[in-house]
Each structure stands twice: as C-alpha cells, then as structure tokens.
Amino acid sequence: MTSIPLIHPDRSRPRFRPIKAWRHFRALVANKEDTEQVFHVIEALNGRALLKNLKKFVATPEGRARLEENIDLVKLLDDHDALRKLPEGSVGAAYLEFMEREGLSAQGLVDEFDRFNVHRKSYDDLIERFGHRLRDTHDLFHVLTGYGRDALGEACVLGFSHGQNPGFGVIFIARMGGLEIRKSLPRGLPVMRAINQARRAGKKARSIVAQDIQSLLAEPLHAARKRLGIPPPTLYEQIHRELQAKGISPMQVMAPGG
C-alpha cells in the first residue's frame, strides 16, 4: 500500500455540532441548489464515519487499487469530447447527457466544496483522497441509480449513498429533506419509503466508488446496473407518475421561490 498515511497526524478530531448542522440544513431547504450547505451538514454530523468507511474501503483489493491509482476523476468526467466517443447506451453516454442537460460539471462540485473548505487545511492523506472520490462520483450515482435532480431524487441519492458509505450527516439530510418534501406534496405519496428503498438498495449494491470509473463509463448502462446490483427506483418513479398525473412538476418541489 502507498506510504501516504491513512489520516494525517495533524488533522483535528471531528466534532459533533448539531446546532451548526441544523442551521446549514435550513439554508439547504431554502435553496436545494446550494450544495455547499451539504458539506457543512455532513462535517457537523458525520464524526468519524468517513474514517470508518475508508478503513473498510482499503481492506478490499478494489479499494486499495483505486486509492493507489489516484486518478483525477474530475478531469476524466469533464472530458466531454472523450465521453462523446463512447457507445450509445453506455454509462458514459448517459452521464454526458445528464450533465449537459442539467448544466453541471464535476469541477462545479469541486468549486462548491472549495467554498466550504476555504479556511481549512488540505492534507495529502488517504482520507482526503477517499473523500474526494465520494464527492466526484456524486453525479455518477444519479445516472446509475436513476434518481433525478429534483428534491426527492437528491434525497434518494443521499439515501443510496448512506447505504454504501454510512454517515449520520448523510442520512440526516436525506430523511429530514424527505419530511420537508412531504409537506410540499399531496398526502399519501410514499416519500419516506422511497428514501428508505434507496438506502436499502445502496446497502445491497456493490460499491460504486470502488469501481474502475474509466472502465465503468464504457460499460452499457443496463449491464452496469445489473452487475452492480442496482434495482429500479420503483417508489421514486411511482411518485413522479402520480405528481405528473396531478399536473405537478417534480422539479418545482422545494425549488427556490417555489
């Protein structure tokens, strides 16, 4: 294994700060596009979860290989010219379509993280590499799971992410976000069940962050979902159908100014 330490000795021990988490969560509710708030909540509530997940990650051959390679995922995922050359129906083609449709970039998520991290020191240790890998694959999770960028889709992706890499901050945003979403919707829709379904799916599926991302991008999307054990998001899709039948756009739920 690389000589880079698991965790730099100068790192301070994470603090549990629920009041700070609540303040930043309310800011996120006010504007679900303000991704910086997600990082604040996770930092305030996750404690040593990231370290625990990293230890499990490096205990596997796949995880060790990914951290040894230390590929620049942002550069890989933002190379749209290369993605355009991938076969139709591939993970990479679906990812490209998703990112261009939504006006997103992997670098954009890094920029949001940097705004959060502006007064914090950066350490070249494995926990930093692992954290960046989790961050940089977030939008790939959307593509592989089938959850969109509406408020419920984001909550479900966080639920799935918690199933893969548990942390109280992540599931706090997912479930508290679900309660906020439920207030905005007609009664009887299975919002919390959809988030819990996503969490169970993430727990059962193979680790996405442990994958060779370059090879994954070239794989047919349907085959990748089957290989990774990612089931269809049936409850999420049911809610979308019911909203559309009522003339409600899922993207307007909890939209800024909505």
Instruction: Give the pLDDT of the chain (258 residues) as one tens digit per residue.
Output: 557 777 777 777 888 899 999 999 999 988 888 888 999 999 999 989 999 999 999 999 999 999 999 899 999 999 999 999 999 999 999 999 999 999 999 999 999 998 888 767 777 789 999 999 999 999 999 999 999 999 999 999 999 999 999 999 999 999 999 999 999 899 999 999 999 999 999 999 999 999 999 999 999 999 999 999 999 999 999 999 999 999 988 888 765 544
Among residues 42, 50, 40, which one has the least CA distance to residue 172? 42
Output the pLDDT for position 119.
62
Contact predicate 226/206, CB 8 Å:
no
DSSP state of 14: P
* Domain boundaries along the sequence of the chain: 18-252
Check residue 257 and give its pLDDT. 42
Q: Which amino acid is at 215?
A: S
Note whether 235 and 193 are within 8 A (CB): yes
Listed in sequence order, the residues at least 6 apart from 40 whose beta carbon sits closer than 8 Å to its beta carbon are 20, 21, 24, 116
Beta carbons of 133 and 73 less than 8 angstroms apart? yes
The per-residue pLDDT for 252 is: 80
Q: State pTM to two decimals.
A: 0.92
